[in-house]
Amino acid sequence: MVLLAEAPASVAALLPRAVQSVDWLAVAPPTLLALAALAVLVADLFLPVERKQLLGAVTLGGIVLSGLSLLPLHGGHRSTFCLTTGSHTCSYEADRFTLVIQLLVLGGALLTALLSHDAVRDERLPAGEYWFLLLSSAAGAALLPAARDLATLVVALEVASLPAFALVGLRRGDRRSAEAALKFFLSSVTATAVTLLGVSFVYAATGTLHLTDIAHSLGDTDPRLAVLARTGVVLTLVGFAFKTAAVPFHFWVPEAYVGAPLPVAGYLSVVGKAVGFTGIALVTVVAFPSYANVWGPALAVLAAVTMTAGNAAALRQRPDRRHGAVRLLAWSSVGQAGYLLVPLAAAGYAREPGRAVGSTVAYALMYAAVNLGAFAVAALVARTSPAQRLADYRGLFARRPAAALCLAFFLLCLAGLPPGVIGLFAKVTVFSAAVDAGLGWLAVVMAVNVVVSLYYYLQWTALLFRPADEGAAAAPEVPARLGAAIGLAAVAGVVLSGAPQLVLRFASGALL
Amino acid sequence: MSTTALQILLAAIVVVPLLGAVAALLPAPPGLKGRSPGQAVLRHGVTVTGAVLALSVALAAGFDHDHPARMQATTDVGWIPALGVRIHLGVDGVSLPLLVLTSLLTFLCALHSYWRTPDGPSPKAFVALLLLLEGGTLASFAVLDLVLFFLAFETVLIPMYFLISRWGGEGRERGAWRFILYTLLGSVVMLLGLLLVGIKGGTFDMVALATDNGSGLSHSTQVIAVLAIGLGLAVKAPVWPLHSWLPDAHTSAPTAGSVLLAGVLLKMGTYGLVRIVLPIAPDGARTFAPYLAALAAVGIVYGSLVCLALARRGAKGDLKRLVAYSSVGHMGFVLLGIATLTPTGVNGALFANVAHGLVTGLLFFLVGGIKDRYGTTDLDRLSGPTGAALYGRAPRLGGLLAFGAVASLGLPGLAGFWGEMLAMFASFRPADGLSRPAYLVFLVLAGLGTLLTAAYLLAVVRRVCMGGNGEQHPAGAVGPALTDVRPYEFAAWTPLVVLTVLAGLWPAALLGLTDPVVQQLLGGGN
């Protein structure tokens, strides 16, 4: 597909029917990110060390530009890289679902870039590589929601993940970082291999890679190929489940988050998960609707186990442990991944699967803003207390009232308690998706998990307002970009709490 | 008063406390700085709660008392079309008294705190949390949308948690945790029930659902919904055996926290039962009513037995804990009234609700006053070998405590009497389809409870208010005179005393408001 698209115009004239047309406007968001990544990589070669700061600015500019390129796509439905014969299915669609996820990815990348600025300088990370990898990964993540064939999907998944491995291991001379990266890499590659195997099975059974065509063909496969198709469906989902950090593919999470630079951990928790659940949504709802009886229950069980395991582990974090704060965020993000999967599972039972997927999207938007906000405050606190123990947050309100109030707000959003209204309503949409689909047991499991998670979120929140210990670290100035990141996330959270409709309408409109 | 004015009044009652809470966190504007930042913000609290009280009194005055069953001052605007959630506000005869009670008690708490700054960190956060609590409580009585009700129900948790854990006394962390975890566990289950009703019923609007009177919901849906919603409300109310968070939370809470917890927050549970469970899922309510009545009867006897044990000499009973356990008993009467499913019983329950708010609010204020003077609320240490002799050392305080005690035990002519009498009266003849013999047993248990209540309250009066005379005991055993009721305490407590007497002498004022609404809620008519 790509080769044909880039063929010279003269050839295109000769083969008018074989060449796919390219709508550059539609593919602009991921393309701009990729171009910015290349620009950073090249510029890194020529910039003197003391001016490497510029690379961060280029990255921010690239992300903002890419975000602006979403504007002309608003409201329209564009598709490109379409087959010129047969079914005329397209490999790239810029519909509402795509745009919303791209917005989420770009927003997440923007906040991460704002957070990274000081981390790159303070931790002496190689600037050129860091910004290049971040942009490349974001480009992959932005491509993924638009992909409508399995090959593009897997390629996008890998473009999003491969730079992430390197980002995790970027702290030079840190054994923990290298180990985490290796563990993350090996397990992720295994998962991808399994996915590829699944994809090949599906291809063998249907003879096509385009999602909608697969949906048509799977409906009437040769009965002798039924087992093959079924196995293919399950195996394909494995790789995506890995990215969302669903149990049993979650064990890499705590180490990777602790080993990685903090902004990267935040990035993984938001954009990494977005990649995973988008893939699952596309594959299940678009490609395998006829196998809803297979993946529906499987995802339901996966969701239940994931949230339970994540919350149980988060509950066990002790305040004095080193990196306790990041570990808690890591495990809580596993728990949150479970909630994200609930509507996807419900899509397997519902009459309108698009609606259920919308609940996941709405939840993910809320989660992205507040979770990155929490990571931003964690990055702020880590500047003065590098041990990142939960105990370091004691008395934060006395030292930094604004940051403490923001963190409290983010945690309450994650917990789903007022004044974090948006968190509450995001949970309500997920609950109603489950109840609507008749998954009462899953709703009850989730309810119990929500209460369990309230315990640790609230405990952390309460810690912020305790009197500080003697000799607590002083509060130096907040770096401007870090402050901007916290402020952006907080404003997003507050605005959404006042007008939840801004994100929740995705929960009602049929996506996909 | 015109409809628009009423609408604005009601919306303002909900919004003003929330705005006030935000304003409390901001630095005081020039000209309002007062003597110190603490004093300025406490005065801000008094001003805002006073304004809210004035607004709710105005609302009560403008309320059409001839048609209390009609929803008045209604506002209905879309908020989240995606979920079908609307900002639907309104008052009728059931919610109006609770709105006024809430704004009154919060105002009195703010007034009390202005003179007697609560022990703990900065009063700034205290006032902000108090106002947020008021906003949440008022909202939960004013909203007519299931999801908004849940939102308001949850809103009060965080401020109450911090009020207990930051300004509380001994064991406050534990008390605050138990409070919030119990309530959350219940409320998440309640959310599932509310969603079930909303999805199966096709709307979250309480008025529309109440008009349907359960006709759109199958029997099994109703049973599941009532079980789930009831669980959340039962924790809040609290129903025995889910009450065990209550004594800890009350004992450790600051005075203002205890007053609001007992006076207002518990009412959200019983209000929810009357407003949501009875009209929206009548079949489910009928299924569970006998069990609720049984638990209520057990709660009445259990609460008073625990109080009796606490009031014993040498039991190291805490006076605050005793009042908290007495709440379990009193709320038992409210629940029993509701569980009879008769207009008499539900009216009695609503009356007892308000009466309990007034009387227990007063008692917690008084106990707080005693703690200020003695530094303890431990009955044994208070009373010493003979008794604390409050009548002799601080006669007005002693007199008020005795008044609170007899009001609480249900002396005819005071507020506590009518509600409990009506609840017991109704359980003599419960609604059709409910087992009469069972209810007769509950009636007997409740009657036994009133006797026990009288016993422990009189024991408390005996030990705290009376004491040995100077002849039999060496001088000094009774102790020096204490500061009697201070002017600000007088100001904070008088309204409660006056209303307790008024409600006792003229119950029709309240029952006339609630009765038409109750007839409608139970009958499903319009």
A97 pLDDT more than 70: yes
**What pLDDT score does B131 carry?**
92
Give chain B's radius of gyration (CA, Å). Answer: 22
For residue B34, the tally of other CB atoms under 10 A from its CB is 14
A13 pLDDT more than 70: no
**What pLDDT score does A38 carry?**
93
A502 pLDDT more than 70: yes
Residue B80: what are its φ and ψ, rounded to 5°? -125, 85
Within A83-212, strands assigned E span 90-94
Q: Choosing among A357, A424, A441, A446, which should be mutated to test the B contact, i.e. which has the most B CBs within 10 A?
A: A424
Proportion of chain A above pLDDT 90, given as a percent: 24
Which residues are A80's β-sheet partners? A92
Contact in structure between B331 and B238 (CB atoms under 8 Å):
yes
- Residue recorded with tokens 């049929």: A510
Q: What is the mean pLDDT of residues B280-287?
A: 88
Q: Which residues contact A142 (CB under 8 A, 6 or more apart)?
A: A29, A30, A33, A66, A102, A105, A106
Q: Taking the alpha carbons of A202, A205, A207, A212 in that order, is the dihedral positive or negative?
A: negative
DSSP string, A373-390: HHHHHHHHHHHH-TT--G
Which tokens is B467 given?
A: 């004491």
Half-sphere exposure of A467 (CA within 13 A, CB side): 7
Chain B residues closer than 8 Å to A506 by CB:
82
* Domain assignment of residue B451, yes or no: yes
| H or E segment and range at residue B86 | strand B85-91
Does B129 lie at the interface with A, CB-CB under 8 angstroms? no
B475 pLDDT more than 80: no
**What pLDDT score does A470 carry?**
62
* Domain assignment of residue B66, yes or no: no
Alpha-helical segments (H) within B64-201: 95-115, 123-142, 146-155, 157-167, 172-201
User: Mind listing the pLDDT tens digit for each residue in B384-431?
Assistant: 777 777 777 788 888 888 899 989 888 888 888 888 889 988 888 888
> Which of the four pLDDT bands, split at 50, 70 and 90, describes residue A107?
very high
CB B121 to CB A467 under 8 A? yes
Which residues 173-232 of chain B have a CB within 8 Å of chain A? 180-181, 184-185, 188-189, 191-192, 195-196, 198-199
Chain B residues closer than 8 Å to A362 by CB:
82
A259 pLDDT more than 80: yes
**What's the distance, CA B83 to chain centroid?**
31
Proportion of chain B above pLDDT 90, given as a percent: 24
CB A429 to CB B161 under 8 A? no
* Domain assignment of residue B108, yes or no: no
3-state secondary structure B321-333: HHHHHHHHHHHHH
Measured CA angle at B505 (ends B500, B507), to 5 deg: 85
B526 pLDDT more than 50: no
User: Mind listing the pLDDT tens digit for each residue in A123-175?
Assistant: 888 888 899 999 999 999 999 999 998 999 999 999 998 998 888 888 777 77
A285 pLDDT more than 60: yes
A6 pLDDT more than 60: no
Proportion of chain B above pLDDT 70, given as a percent: 97
- Domain containing residue B380: 281-489+517-526
A421 pLDDT more than 50: yes
Contact in structure between A281 and A360 (CB atoms under 8 Å):
yes
Nearest to A147 by CA among A211, A205, A242: A211
**What pLDDT score does B1 carry?**
63
- Judged by average pLDDT, the poorest of A32-46, B21-35, B350-364 is B21-35
- Residue recorded with tokens 């809040």: B236
Burial of B66 (0-12, 13-18, 19+ CB in 10 A): exposed
Chain B residues closer than 8 Å to A462 by CB:
161-162, 165
User: Mind listing the pLDDT tens digit for each residue in B494-518?
Assistant: 999 999 999 888 888 888 888 888 8
* Total beta-carbon pairs less than 8 A apart between chain A and chain B: 83
CB A418 to CB B136 under 8 A? yes
Burial of B325 (0-12, 13-18, 19+ CB in 10 A): buried
**What pLDDT score does A63 carry?**
93
Mean of all residue pLDDT scores within chain A: 85
Q: Which residues of A touch B (CB under 8 A)?
A: 362, 412, 417-419, 421, 424-425, 428-429, 431-432, 435-436, 443-444, 447-448, 450-451, 454-455, 458, 462, 465, 467, 500-501, 504-509
B296 pLDDT more than 90: yes
CB A425 to CB B80 under 8 A? yes
CB B198 to CB A432 under 8 A? yes
Total count of domains within chain B: 1
At position A69, the amino acid (one-letter code) is: S
- Judged by average pLDDT, the poorest of A212-221, A263-272, B25-34, B49-58 is B25-34
Q: Which residues contact B365 (CB under 8 A, 6 or more apart)?
A: B108, B112, B255, B259, B489, B492, B493, B496
Nearest to A341 by CA among A284, A286, A293, A294: A284
> Which of the four pLDDT bands, split at 50, 70 and 90, describes residue A475?
low
Q: What is the mean pLDDT of residues A284-297?
A: 86
- Judged by average pLDDT, the poorest of A356-365, A405-414, A475-484, B252-261 is A475-484
* Domain assignment of residue B153, yes or no: no
Distance CA B287, CA A356 (A): 33
Distance CA B272, CA B184 (A): 16
- Angstrom distances, CA of residue B471 to CA of A505, B13, B395: 80, 57, 20
User: Mind listing the pLDDT tens digit for each residue in A215-257?
Assistant: 888 877 777 888 888 888 888 888 788 777 787 778 888 888 8
Does B158 lie at the interface with A, CB-CB under 8 angstroms? yes
For residue A416, the tally of other CB atoms under 10 A from its CB is 27
Half-sphere exposure of B343 (CA within 13 A, CB side): 14
**What pLDDT score does A2 carry?**
44
- Judged by average pLDDT, the poorest of A430-439, B22-31, B234-243 is B22-31
User: Mind listing the pLDDT tens digit for each residue in A321-338?
Assistant: 888 888 899 899 999 999
At position A148, the amino acid (one-letter code) is: R
Q: Choosing among B160, B182, B188, which should be mutated to test the A contact, i.e. which has the most A CBs within 10 A?
A: B188
Which residues 285-344 of chain B have a CB within 8 Å of chain A? none
Distance CA B419, CA B416 (A): 6
Measured CA angle at A498 (ends A493, A500), to 5 deg: 75
Distance CA A28, CA B514 (A): 64
**What pLDDT score does B305 carry?**
92
Distance CA B461, CA B389 (A): 10
Specify the DSSP class assigned to residue A109: H
Distance CA A33, CA A434 (A): 36
Does B151 lie at the interface with A, CB-CB under 8 angstroms? yes
A262 pLDDT more than 70: yes
- Judged by average pLDDT, the poorest of A204-218, A243-257, B92-106 is A243-257
**What pLDDT score does B473 carry?**
46
Specify the DSSP class assigned to residue B378: B
CA distance to partner chain B, nearest, from residue A204 (Å): 41
**What pLDDT score does A1 carry?**
45
3-state secondary structure A307-359: HHHHHHHHHCCCCCCCCHHHHHHHHHHHHHHHHHHHHHHHHCCCCCHHHHHHH
| Overall pTM > 0.90 | no
A69 pLDDT more than 70: yes
Mean of all residue pLDDT scores within chain B: 86
Measured CA angle at A461 (ends A460, A464), to 5 deg: 90
CB B82 to CB A467 under 8 A? no
* Domain assignment of residue B87, yes or no: no
| Most confident range, picked from A13-17, A175-179, B225-229 | B225-229
> Which of the four pLDDT bands, split at 50, 70 and 90, describes residue A512?
low
Q: Which residues contact A24 (CB under 8 A, 6 or more apart)?
A: A31
**What pLDDT score does A113 carry?**
92
Q: Choosing among B182, B195, B199, B218, which should be mutated to test the A contact, i.e. which has the most A CBs within 10 A?
A: B195
Q: Domain locations in chain A?
A: 288-512
CB B192 to CB A435 under 8 A? yes
Instruction: Output the CA torsion A446→A452→A457→A459 (10° steps).
Output: 170
Q: Which residue of A has its CA nearest to B185?
A: A451
Give the ipTM: 0.81
A3 pLDDT more than 60: no
For residue B107, the tally of other CB atoms under 10 A from its CB is 23
